[in-house]
Structures are given as C-alpha cells and as structure tokens.
Amino acid sequence: HADGLLSLVEESVSLNPDSEEGKKLLGLVQQATENPAQSADKPEEIAVLARTFNNAGNYVAQKYGDFDAVRDLWEKALSLKPDDVSIRYNMAISCYDREEYAEADKHIEVALRGLYADLAKDDGKDKTNLQEFIYESEKTSAIVQSRLGRHEAAILLLQDKFSGSVQHGASVYHAYGVSLAALGRKEEAVKFLEFAVDSEPTRAYQDDYRKSLKKVTGSDMTAQERLIQQVREQQLPGARGPSMMA
C-alpha cells in the first residue's frame, strides 16, 4: 500500500514539479515509506515519526479522498502513539469508510476520552480548537453508534447540535434520522432523513439515504420531490388539471 501511495504521489508531483505543496507531500511520504521506525528510540523521535506518518496520511486523504491508500500510514502512526487523539480519529474514519463499525467505535472512544481529558486540564490554554475537535468527534461517534444500532446513544450525542443555523454533513442528518425512526419518532425522523437526501451530492450515498427514507415513509422521494413530480404530471399533454366549472 505504502509503495503504491509513493508512486501515486511521485506521478502527481511530476505533473507540476514546481509546486512547493507537491514537494512537501512527496517529502512526507518518502520519509514515511522508508520506515525509519527502527532508529526511533527516543520519545521525541517517536512523536515526530508518528506525526510524519499521520500528516502524510492526512494530506493524501484530503487531496484524493482515498482512505484505503493511507491506511498503512495511519496504522504505523498508531503503533507509535496509540493514545494520540488525532491518529485515533483518523483510524475511526478509515474503519467507518470500510464499514468496520465496531473497530471505528473503539478508535473514536479512545479519541474522545483523550479529548475530554485535555479539555478538563486547567492549563490556561485556549480551548477553542479543542472544543471544535470534540464537536466533530462527537458527531463521528454518533454516526458510528447509529450504524451499530445504539440509537439512544446516537441521539444523546446529536440532540443539542441542531440549534441555530449550523450546517452539518448529510451523514449526520442521516444518522439522527435513522435513530429517531428506530425509537418511533417518525415525524422528526422524516425531517432529518430528507435533509440527508437533499444535502448529499454523492449518488451512492444518496441512494443509501433514500432507502432509509423509504423505510419510514414508503417513498424514496422527499416531500418536495413528490410535489414537483405531481406538478409536472399535471402539465403533461392530456393530463387532467383542476376543473374550471363551478
């Protein structure tokens, strides 16, 4: 996997050899794939090496959206720093992408435990970024809980996150809607499942969300889509419109 990743990056960089961003990425991946872990015997060296693996994986995942290609890098990072919250979060995402929900749950649980501990420290540091990381990690955990059928836990994690005008990813709306439906809260479930369908740009994921919507409403179309369809059908030649007679 790592060698294939290096080839992919080398090919990408060759298309734009003057790109500083590309050079930086190539350096990260080359250092990571050389596997210098055997020479890292000091805590600071191990921390730097783990961060290198993790950062290289982050870059490629964000650039290409390929979580499989970077799995080896994140696993190497994890083997060096198993309590690192960022690495654990990445592993949770990777496992979720492979539908390994139980493993994803283990990783996100460790990440959240570490994040909560950091938040509780009275060290005088600004906690804004940490709180944002916790916010995103809780949403990820809720999505995993919903997939595992732990619907009450999923709702507990998400129920206070829909106030105001904050926009969430389609997967968050879907997880909340599925869990609401599982607990018999159909009207609320439909609202969030329709949000998921409307806000998901990827066809494969949208189809999955439509299946969940159909289980609740009997139709894989949102209320707005059904209304549009009715209007179009009435406008077709030969369609009977509303009567004009008193």
Q: What's this model's pTM, rounded to 2 decimal places?
A: 0.77
Distance from C-alpha of 113 to C-alpha of 33, rounded to nearest angstrom: 30
pLDDT given for residue 76 in this prediction: 83
- CA dist list (Å): 9 to 21, 24, 50, 94: 11, 11, 20, 20
Distance from C-alpha of 104 to C-alpha of 141, rounded to nearest angstrom: 8
| Residue 189 pLDDT greater than 60, yes or no | yes
- CA dist list (Å): 136 to 61, 131, 204, 234: 17, 9, 23, 45
* 141-155 core/surface letters (b: 16 or more CB in 10 A; e: else): bbbbbbbeebbebbb
More confident residue, 139 or 68: 139
Name the phi and psi angles at 42, rounded to 5.
-105, 145
How much is the average pLDDT of 196-200? 94
pLDDT winner (highest mean) among 22-26, 55-59, 144-148, 225-229:
144-148
| Least reliable range by pLDDT among 5-14, 44-53, 100-109, 219-228 | 5-14
DSSP state of 42: S
| Residue 222 pLDDT greater than 60, yes or no | yes
How much is the average pLDDT of 1-11? 59
| Residue 137 pLDDT greater than 70, yes or no | yes
pLDDT given for residue 245 in this prediction: 42
- CA dist list (Å): 143 to 22, 147, 172: 33, 6, 6
